[in-house]
Structure 1
Amino acid sequence: MNFLAHLYLAGSNKEIIIGNFIADTIKGNKFDHFSKDIQFGIKMHRRIDTFTDSHPIFRQSKRRLDDKYRLYKGVIIDLIYDHFLAKNWSQYADTSLFDFSQEVYQLLEKNYAILPEKAQYLIPYMSKQNWLYKYKSLQGIGEVMHDMNIRTQGRSKMNEAIVDLKDNYAIFEKDFTCFFKEIENYSSTYLKNHDCKNNK
């Protein structure tokens, strides 16, 4: 799962949202200086990644990609799934994607001082270019893939993956729809268990 999915699946607790956002910028277990809910968000992010990477539908999606992408297949499918979440946003959330995106940027900027340096570095670009909303269109997701390829110095060939997406659009969307029902249920249960423990 990429940024949008993780932020959406984190629910409404602001500190859990922050934890989900910063998880990839933290190594190992060096996060006990954060609040309990931020720590939970970090752990939740990692559980979601484990669930996703081992899921047969996600693996099936990766097999649909050309072998030239090699180790970057998972990252590309993460982006493709975020595209379909953004495109079909109204089926999953009551608030608009634009409003959700702005609320996330504001939350991260408000808590900028406590975020890891790598996360701090991302926020200005993410907000200015409106990454979360940009995922919604083919042009937007194509631009993201292009930028990602530049960041990998051309090794990932991710700029070419927009062609794979267009050529297999309906199939990828079906994969996403089936998979996302399961990751929503998994995440919802994980959040409820956390709430139950805290309310004891």
Structure 2
Amino acid sequence: MTHKLQDLTEKIYNEGVRKAKEEAEKILKEAEKKASQMEEEASQKAKKIVDEAEKKAQETKMHVEAEMKMALKQSTTALKQSIANMVTMQAIEPATDQLFSDKKYLSELIVKTVEGWIKHESTDLEVILPESDRGKMEEYFKNQLAHHLNKGLSLSFSKNLKSGFKIGPADGGYVISFTDEDFNNFFKAYLRPKTNELLFESK
């Protein structure tokens, strides 16, 4: 009887141990499965973060490169323009300075302009001259244009005008300007493209 009871006890013990082991193995497998899933999820999240960071870095790089190319192109264009202007003006300015310093030539030009204007327009005309030239040119024009001055032509002098002259209707509706700056700009508009071509044409 004692032997049977011992066998039964041992059988119950072994059965309990077996079930406990099976339950432990089951729990361990589930834990390992969950750990594997968590590791996979963490790996995927990390990869996604890295991919997004690389994408943003690439976009930033492309944006910076585009901005640098644009800035380089603009600065190169501005530099070329500055060089072309300098070369053009060095060619133009001495000639226009000489032209406008020749008071005889300038006076004849004004007289011809006035006479040409009056042939097609009213004699109600105003000629504006530099204040600095009043002493040299006022008497000359009073003599040369006396018959026009008696018919509505007027002469005025302006401190804001440095060289050349301006001419227009006496009512001040508009004026046509003949100054060294006007001539410089006029010739520069024609010469600058050729200057650019000569300086920067690709060989």
Q: TM-score, normalised by structure 2?
A: 0.25
Pick the structure with more strand per residue: 2
Choose between structure 1 and 2 for higher RCO, CA contacts under 8 A separated by at least 6 residues.
Answer: 1
Greater gyration radius: 2
Q: TM-score, normalised by structure 1?
A: 0.25
